[in-house]
Structure 1
Amino acid sequence: MTERLYFNDSYCFEASPLVNEAEFDQEKSEWSLVLDKTIFHPPGGGQPSDEGQISSHGVLSLAVDKDLGTIKHKVACKDGASFSPGDLVFLNVDEVVRRRHARLHSAGHLMDVAVRKMGLMFQSSKAYHYPDGSYVEYLGSVPVEERELMAKKIMSVANETIQKTKDTDLVTSRIEQDGTRLVFLSSEDIGCPCGGTHVKHVKEIGHVTVTRLVEKKKFIRVCYSVTNLE
């Protein structure tokens, strides 16, 4: 099991874990490392992978072994560097990328909060928290003539929620007995199962724009963006 340090602190950008497993692919000149703990978020849950380095070597990709609960870190090594179990390594996550992902992911959760506050009987389906077109998708339907107005209303409620959240009311999370992690945007939030990274306070999300509502088959997609995204 790889301990995921970002569960407790999304703004932990450096760490020094131990190597549990190390396997070298000679053809690709890359190492596959399993660490005892990590700050790297792998792709999943609608969130992109983190970027960064392990002991000055670029991280190529991250993958989760769901059966073992481990995260494999693929590392490019073209200078003859080697890794062995028990080695102490230094992790460095790209801070700009991490903060970008956290803002977009938290903004997606904010869409859920706004939808609930409006009393819409939408059932969450999936989400896409990537910079090239973020959205949250729900099982539900909205007449074409009502979509523009509803998009504006969701945006208004979302930004009002940001403005009215007290500075001391931080984003929190907890692990349930079954291992599920719940994330709460504030003390008023009912929580949402999530394994991603988030801002410390909803005000860090910035202004949210709901760009449009799109319906596909039985699903309504709420497309959104955030301001000043680096």
Structure 2
Amino acid sequence: MSAIVAEKGDGVTESIPATTERLYLTLDGNFIYRAQGRLIFIGGMEEGEGQEGREQKVDVVFDRSPFHPQGGGQPSDVGKVVCVGTGIELKVVKVSFSFETNVVTHHCEYGAGVTMSELAVGETWGLFVDEEKRNTFSKFHSAGHMVDRAMELCGYNMPATKGYHFLDSPYVEYKGKVEAPKREALIVQLNEKFKELIEEDIPTTICELTKEEAEEELNKVQANFFFSVFKDPTVRIVGICNFRCPCGGTHVRSSKDLEGFQVTGIKVKKGITRVKYDLAKE
């Protein structure tokens, strides 16, 4: 196991195993919004005390965290972390993950009254995810997987090449073409499948498979997934609307939670089909 050097204050450093237990990886963990973790690293810190009207920055790492980092087309969680002992509070504005060290880094900001010299490795902190935003991000990500299932049910079993599940303009891209005369009809068909899948109330599943098991199970019909790129011996497999694929994101409990989503358009460029979707505006 690799290690990182953690700052303990007063110039003292300590080598600590570089790993974060990621609580969101299990199905139940998708709905953990608060937890406690031990501070194991402080970095990227701006010197001095927080100033009025100016946010300063610091990066912190804990031995466990409920925060989902940005990746896989999903925005990172935001929220706050609070030191149990001192009451120091940091605003989490972004979260990232290193596949090399298995570390989740919380990129934070702090303002007036916060003195960074008071931070110490080893202290217990409360970690609080913004629940409303997490649930929204999960819905938009799951809806992207529902596009995958609907495309499959409509006879388009094309490899997905990219998913963008941010709220501004979400879409899923596939390798292959949907011919122009068929696109409008396909939008109608996809939205019909959306309604059927939502009404079926299909539970979400999350499990770990070996790369060999995943290859055998998920590539039976067509080689849509390339498991050789994964470094770990096992792969996290998420099932949305009975469509199973490798994924590291957070998701809803059931297809019923995706009420209101719809396919809004299809574009094709350079052999890539982009299916756009969104939550219907009230």
**TM-score, structure 1 as length reference:** 0.91
Q: Please state how far the C-alpha of 1:227 moved relative to its aligned partner.
A: 3.7
Aligned length: 224
1:183 aligns with 2:219: no
1:122 aligns with 2:142: no
Q: Is the contact between residue 107 and residue 226 of structure 1 (CA under 8 Å) also seen in structure 2?
A: no
Summarize deviations over 1:188-219 as a string: whole Å, max 9, x none.
x2411111010011111112211000112110
> 1: distance between equivalents of 2:280 and 2:255?
13
Q: Which residue pairs with 2:206 in the alignment?
A: 173
Summarize deviations over 1:149-186 as a string: whole Å, max 9, x none.
11111111122111123xxx521201223231111125
Q: Which residue pairs with 2:78 in the alignment?
A: 51
> 1: distance between equivalents of 2:173 and 2:277?
11
**TM-score, structure 2 as length reference:** 0.75
1:152 aligns with 2:188: yes
Residue in structure 2 matching 1:80, options 115, 127, 141: 115
Summarize deviations over 1:138-158 as a string: whole Å, max 9, x none.
001012121111111111112
Q: Is the contact between residue 200 and residue 255 of structure 2 (CA under 8 Å) also seen in structure 1?
A: no
Residue in structure 1 matching 2:248, options 184, 195, 201: 195
1:208 aligns with 2:261: yes
RMSD: 1.8
Summarize deviations over 1:108-142 as a string: whole Å, max 9, x none.
00011111112213111000001111100000101
Q: Please state how far the C-alpha of 1:30 moved relative to its aligned partner.
A: 2.5
| Uncovered stretches (5+) of structure 1, i.e. residues with no partner | none
> 1: distance between equivalents of 2:97 and 2:265?
33
Q: Counterpart of 2:23 in structure 1: which amino acid?
A: L
| Uncovered stretches (5+) of structure 2, i.e. residues with no partner | 1-18, 48-54, 83-88, 211-232
SS at match of 1:16: strand
Q: Please state how far the C-alpha of 1:59 moved relative to its aligned partner.
A: 0.8
Return structure 1 stretches of 4+ with deviation > 4 angstroms. none
Q: Is the contact between residue 113 and residue 158 of structure 1 (CA under 8 Å) also seen in structure 2?
A: no
> 2: distance between equivalents of 1:18 and 1:137?
40
> 1: distance between equivalents of 2:132 and 2:173?
26
